[in-house]
Amino acid sequence: MLRYTLKRLISLVLSLAVASLVIFAVIEIAPGDPALFMLGVNAQPDTLAALRTELGLDASKPDRYLAWVGGMLQGDFGTSYTYRTPVAGMIADRLWVSLPLTIYALVISILLAFPAGIYAASRRGKMGDAAMMGTTQLGVAIPNFWFAMMLVLVFAVNLRWFNAGGFPGWDKGVWTGLHALTLPAIALALPQASILARVMRSALLDVLGEDFMRTARAKGLSRGQALWRHGLRNALIPVLTIIGLQVSFLLAGAIIIEQVFYLPGLGRLIFQSINSRDLIVVESVVMLLVFVVITVNFLVDLAYALVDPRLRTRT
Amino acid sequence: MSRGMWIGSVLTALMLGLALVSLVWTPYPYAQLDIPNKLLPPSLAHPMGTDHFGRDILSMIMVGIRTSMGVAIVAVAIGLAFGIPLGLLASQRKGGWVDEMIMRTNDVIFAFPLLAMAILITAVFGPSATNAIIAFGLFNIPVFARVTRGGALSLWEREFIFAARVAGKSRLRISAEHILPNILGILIVQGTIQFALGIQVEAALSFVGLGVQPPTPSLGRMLADAQTLVTIAPHIAIFPGLAIIGIVVGLNLMGDGLRDWLDPRIRVVRT
Amino acid sequence: MSLLEIKGLNLSIAGKPILRDVDLTVAKGEIVAVTGESGSGKSITAFSIMQLLPEGAEISGAIQLDGTELTTLPETRLCALRGARIGMVFQEPMSALNPVKTIGDQVAETILIHGAMPKDQARAQAHEMLDRVGLPPDQFSPTRFPHELSGGQRQRVVIAMAIALRPDLLIADEPTTALDVTTQAQILDLLKGLVAEFDMGLLMITHDLAVVSDMADRIVVMRAGEVVETGPTRQLFARMRHPYTRMLFEASRHSVDLPEKHSSEPLLSVQNVVRAYRLPRTKLFAPAEYHRAVDRVSFTLRKGERLGLVGESGCGKSTLTRAILGLEPVQGGQILLNGASVYTERGADLAVRRGMQVVFQDPFGSFNPRHRVARLITEPYHLLEKSPSGAARADAVAEALRAVGLSPDDAGKYIHEFSGGQRQRIAIARALIIKPDLILFDEAVSALDVSVRARILDLVAELCESHDLSYLFISHDLSVVRTITDRVLVMRAGRIVEEGETEQVFSHPTHPYTRALIAAAPVLPDIDTQHRSHPHV
């Protein structure tokens, strides 16, 4: 298990290193001089030069890459070209909206998908299964931001159960915060729950065809007991993969859906930065997204080993 | 053909038909402004109403479907064109350095969430439909490479491939002659799934301004315009959304149907 | 009264009749074997007793266990019965156990699910059962997972699960078919011992007549869903009233007459061949370790010779086969065909490979399902510099098909239109078409029913006569190798441990391993049916 973890950890670090190189290289291709951009076309050459030195723009490319990565490792993401404030602080503020939203949506997605998938699998080919599969087929197809608009229309504009948008901040209390994130989280979660429910169902059906399920029945377990005790854990292996993928979908979805609800999350930051060509912010946010995805994949790999003993002994 | 596949095919054909008809005819010129008649609810003259510039929404949706499908198809084609050869190459010597290199590169591309890729590309080259296509196309390459490799690897262990090797055929030739025809089915299925995903990706990217740019209508662009007006004129958001759902449901049903049709797991009773 | 009594059992699945009017009884302490070829309905009979049938199965007739009618019993009562009063052992020990649960837990589950005793007592009982089946807990920790055990050990776990509550009836569905011959003998012994000790009834399903004759008190022969003959083992073998029983018996010990061989110059020469695989690293910086799947193997096959290669699974015979075919590089030694090396770094040396063809085991997997027979069997033409075309090609296809007993009209068909035996004929036609000097038969008859196997062996013998074949016949089945080869190699753990004239090796084995192999192989009773009934089979 230790060796397995170590191996995954090494591959995690390698992936991060390569990803950071790619991001850095792409941003380097971008035309334009950030210093010129910040000071405007009328800037004096010596002020420009001073700012370039301050931003570290006149160092060689490898040095700048190392400085960037080294800074990030110490929590320093550089200084925003437009706001002249540390990027780390800007990101941290926004992360407090985007990350809870993502996790909230993930929890809803799992809570909806597991029972739905198990129910459909156990009623395979019957009415309940067909109805569930029809619903999820529709759920998969609904764009989450469109669904968000419809939710606003119904629950905020017509029923007035929720605010149409905005975020009061966590200092107003956890419940107030969660309440404000509920509609966006539901909008995010429903399509993903549909996907997850379908995966759960097909994984369970695959396991139901396995020989050891027949063995379990021959021991005297009922259909339900066999499904519960032997099917579920084996079906979890493909389901985990999808949950891992969903974290990155949900995070991306959160960034998009923040636009619908006017939430002060990463989404707003990043689209403002793109418009104002504040590339250092873009660079850092993208790196952060990649970091989250790679880390989640690492955690999923560890979860595999917990579920499947075959991975633990094999190196 | 199953009922799902039938519904899916009809739905897809319908949407494709609308897109193709828009090339020669739309109820109104889609770009024609008519400010006095803005935000009209659905009526006989405008079955889906008009938008904030008085443009006919049905006409815009017809053209929008065409744009969105175009973006998705080209991106899937990029994925197929690069992903299949890479997957085949990787499968020819499992664990070899070519395989390792291709799969590790794939891993890195895979680690970029699609949105991060799109953000990176637009941040550098500016937002455009082309850049959305490139982002989704890049995303598709490892998807198809993996599917190809996975399908091919199991075939390389089959005895008929050994027989072909004993007949002295090169790995390249075997890939073309035996492997590819036998994995075409799963590739077609994956293709429809990625196509459906492409419709959603176009919508999402255009919605946040990273995709198709005005004045070209696309389903995502229309929703972006509708966002601020949805509370006073819901119809301008509802119809483009339904169009997206229609295309995606149609394609997914077709994909599922194809999968069942190509791989009927008939459980044989052993004696 | 019998423990198990099946009367007039009819079964159909989705309207298709599978079993017709099956009668069968098992008494306490009795071993009853049900035998027959594929499609005979023997396994489904076993599953109808458990009432674990595929969806859409319709059943009529009576299945009584100690007087309790099972076909009408509600599901909850059936659950209480399964595992407690009827235990079951399956064919595939590799997949019959849940990979994510420990073996101790899986055995204890049988006890716990029936609420037979509290948890720690159940665990103790489970350990006792594991001990009884030959997995003493101090050597084989019950906290192990199935993947940490060998096939034979897993089958012991499955047996422990089935007998944990000392059921009245044990059903074993091909319990040794997936196992090696030495392991098979141990498992059969174990089952026999358990029956005597627990006074259980054992209903054993098997296709192997030799196993049947060794084990059973009574035999039930089935064909196409019907019981054709039944009786006490000795009596049944002595009389064999039904022609099908006789046919099965004859086919099981079918032997062929090979034409005289004429030894001459060497054809295939294997010299000190080593084929090693790198093992996954166990330490991060230690040098990589290698497993020698083939370890310094040398032998020579002469023109016109029929050489056998026997060994159990994992002994390296498949690896050696691939190396001989030039599909994989060797790490030491060399393999020469007609004096030229079969493997070249640049890939196939067509000139050398032209001399060699292969027939594989799996009649279903060895053809591209998308090609027609004509294209399938002419694939080796790729090896020729100038392959025949047009009428010459069609003639060659027709000739090859005729040679293996098929019709030239079959050239236009797809492979799914043929049965398993016919497919093996097509595979032989593919091997023959370029008239190679050497053919490798890689477990070529192992997946076939005995009657089909006998016909294919006949075909090979005929071809020896008409085509002057030289071949290497690789198989785990001793009886087949004994009749179809002149000389034999016995392989174990990557090495050739014994080599010699086939008859000599089989009648006077010198190496202990060969002796153990031959002793473990179940044999048919020595009955000469020729005198009593029609020799026609």
One-letter identity of residue B170: S
Residue in chain B closest to C55 (alpha carbons) equals B267
- Interface contact A220-C96, CB threshold 8 A: no
CB pairs under 8 A between B and C: 76
| Contact present, A284 and A87 (Cβ < 8 Å) | yes
Residue to mutate among A212, A304, A314, with most C CBs inside 10 A, is A212
Taking residue C450's Cβ as centre, other Cβ atoms within 10 Å add up to 20
How distant is the Cα of A75 from the closest Cα of chain B, in angstroms?
21
Predicted pLDDT of residue C533: 44
Mean pLDDT for C336-343 is: 89
Label the pairing between strands C340-341 and C306-310. unpaired
Q: Which residues of chain C lie closer than 8 angstroms to B163, CB-CB?
A: 358, 360, 366-367, 379, 430
From B45-59, C15-29, C93-107, C278-292, the region with the lowest mean pLDDT? C278-292
- Interface contact A220-C80, CB threshold 8 A: yes
Q: Which residues of chain A lie closer than 8 angstroms to B113, CB-CB?
A: 248-249, 251-252, 289-290, 293
Return residues 105-144 of B near A (CB < 8 Å): 107-108, 111-116, 119-124, 127
Q: Is the pLDDT assigned to residue C1 strictly greater than 50?
A: yes
- Residue C114's region, left for phi above 0, alpha for psi from -120 to 50, else beta, is alpha
- Interface contact A212-C88, CB threshold 8 A: no
Predicted pLDDT of residue C531: 46
One-letter identity of residue C445: V
* Mean pLDDT, rounded, of chain C: 90
How distant is the Cα of B269 from the closest Cα of chain C, in angstroms?
8
One-letter identity of residue B147: V
Residue of B168, B182, B271 with shortest CB distance to C38: B271
The CA-atom distances, in angstroms, between A246 and each of A107, A148, A305, C396 are 11, 18, 20, 58
Predicted pLDDT of residue B268: 27
CA distance C245 to C258: 26
Q: What are the tokens at C303?
A: 């023109």
Taking the Cβ of residue C101 and every Cβ of chain A, the question of whether any pair is shorter than 8 Å is answered with yes
The CA-atom distances, in angstroms, between A72 and each of A66, A69, A79, A291, B49 are 10, 5, 12, 11, 51
Residue in chain C closest to B157 (alpha carbons) equals C365
Predicted pLDDT of residue C358: 94
3-state SS assignment for residue A309: helix
From A203-217, B79-93, C514-528, the region with the lowest mean pLDDT? C514-528
Predicted pLDDT of residue C174: 93
Predicted pLDDT of residue C178: 87
Model confidence pLDDT, tens digit, residues C347-394: 667 888 889 999 998 888 889 988 999 999 999 999 988 889 889 999
Q: Which residues of chain A lie closer than 8 angstroms to B243, CB-CB?
A: none
| Contact present, C357 and C432 (Cβ < 8 Å) | yes
How distant is the Cα of A222 from the closest Cα of chain C, in angstroms?
6
Model confidence pLDDT, tens digit, residues C162-198: 999 999 999 999 999 889 999 999 999 999 999 999 9
Mean pLDDT for C341-350 is: 76
Residue of B107, B120, B244 with shortest CB distance to A286: B120
Q: Which residues of chain C lie closer than 8 angstroms to B269, CB-CB?
A: 13, 18, 43-44, 54
Residue of B166, B170, B271 with shortest CB distance to C347: B170
Q: What are the tokens at A280?
A: 């250092």
CA distance C453 to C254: 9
Residue of B121, B124, B204 with shortest CB distance to A256: B204
Q: What are the tokens at C446?
A: 């192992």
Residue A35 parent element (H or E):
helix A34-39
From A159-173, B253-267, C16-30, the region with the lowest mean pLDDT? B253-267
One-letter identity of residue B26: T
What is the predicted ipTM? Answer: 0.88
Model confidence pLDDT, tens digit, residues C307-331: 999 999 889 998 999 999 988 888 9
* Mean pLDDT, rounded, of chain B: 87
State the first-to-last Cα distance of chain C, in angstroms, to the nearest integer: 38
Q: What string of H, E and C letters represents the secondary structure of chain B?
A: CCHHHHHHHHHHHHHHHHHHHCCCCCCCCCCCCCHHHCCCCCCCCCCCCECCCCCEHHHHHHHHHHHHHHHHHHHHHHHHHHHHHHHHHHHHCCCCHHHHHHHHHHHHHHHCCHHHHHHHHHHHHCCCHHHHHHHHHHHHHHHHHHHHHHHHHHHHCCHHHHHHHHCCCCHHHHHHHHHHHHHHHHHHHHHHHHHHHHHHHHHHHHHCCCCCCCCCCCHHHHHHHHCCCCCCCCHHHHHHHHHHHHHHHHHHHHHHHHHHHHCCCCCCCCC
Residue in chain A closest to C171 (alpha carbons) equals A218
Return residues 120-139 of A near B (CB < 8 Å): 137-138
- Interface contact A229-C100, CB threshold 8 A: no
Q: Is the pLDDT assigned to residue C303 strictly greater than 80?
A: yes
Long-range pairs for A154-162 at CB < 8 Å and ≥24 separation?
A155/A183, A156/A183, A157/B231
Residue of A15, A146, A248 with shortest CB distance to B108: A15
Predicted pLDDT of residue C528: 60
Q: Which residues of chain B lie closer than 8 angstroms to A29, CB-CB?
A: 124
Taking the Cβ of residue A270 and every Cβ of chain B, the question of whether any pair is shorter than 8 Å is answered with yes
- Residues belonging to chain B with any Cβ–Cβ distance to chain C shorter than 8 Å: 158-160, 162-171, 178, 181-182, 267, 269-271
Mean pLDDT for C200-205 is: 96
Residue of B122, B208, B238 with shortest CB distance to A256: B208
Q: Which residues of chain A lie closer than 8 angstroms to C148, CB-CB?
A: 313
CA distance A203 to B265: 14
Q: In the block, which residue shows the tokens 């991306």?
A: A252
Mean pLDDT for B28-34 is: 84
CA distance B35 to B208: 25
Phi/psi at C499 (5° precision): -150, 140
User: What are the E-state strand segments in C451-514?
Assistant: 471-475, 487-492, 495-501
Instruction: Reply yes or no: is the peptide bond before residue B215 cis, omega within 30 of 0.
Output: yes
State the first-to-last Cα distance of chain B, in angstroms, to the nearest integer: 30
Mean pLDDT for C209-230 is: 93
> What secondary structure letter does DSSP report for C137?
T
What are chain A's partners, defined as 3 or more CB pairs within 8 angstroms?
B, C
- Interface contact B204-A138, CB threshold 8 A: no
Regions of chain A where pLDDT drops below 50: 314-315
Return residues 61-120 of A near C (CB < 8 Å): none
Predicted pLDDT of residue C536: 41
Residue A287 parent element (H or E):
helix A279-307
Q: What string of H, E and C letters represents the secondary structure of C294-361?
A: EEEEEEEEECCCEEEEECCCCCCHHHHHHHHCCCCCCCEEEEEECCEECCECCECCHHHHCCEEEECC
Phi/psi at C182 (5° precision): -70, -40
Residue in chain B closest to A155 (alpha carbons) equals B231
CA distance B169 to C187: 44
pLDDT confidence bin for C283, thresholds 50/70/90: low
Q: Which residues of chain A lie closer than 8 angstroms to C54, CB-CB?
A: none
CA distance B63 to B218: 7
Model confidence pLDDT, tens digit, residues A193-249: 999 999 999 999 989 889 999 999 999 999 889 999 999 989 998 898 889 888 888
- Interface contact C281-A215, CB threshold 8 A: no
- Interface contact C383-B271, CB threshold 8 A: no
Taking the Cβ of residue C18 and every Cβ of chain B, the question of whether any pair is shorter than 8 Å is answered with yes
| Contact present, C415 and C376 (Cβ < 8 Å) | yes
CB pairs under 8 A between A and B: 123
Q: Is the pLDDT assigned to residue C535 strictly greater than 50?
A: no
Q: What's this model's pTM, rounded to 2 decimal places?
A: 0.86
CA distance A81 to A277: 9
Q: Exposed (0-12), middle (13-18) or buried (19+): which is C432, by Cβ within 10 Å? A: buried
Q: What are the tokens at A81?
A: 């070209």
- Interface contact B252-A137, CB threshold 8 A: yes
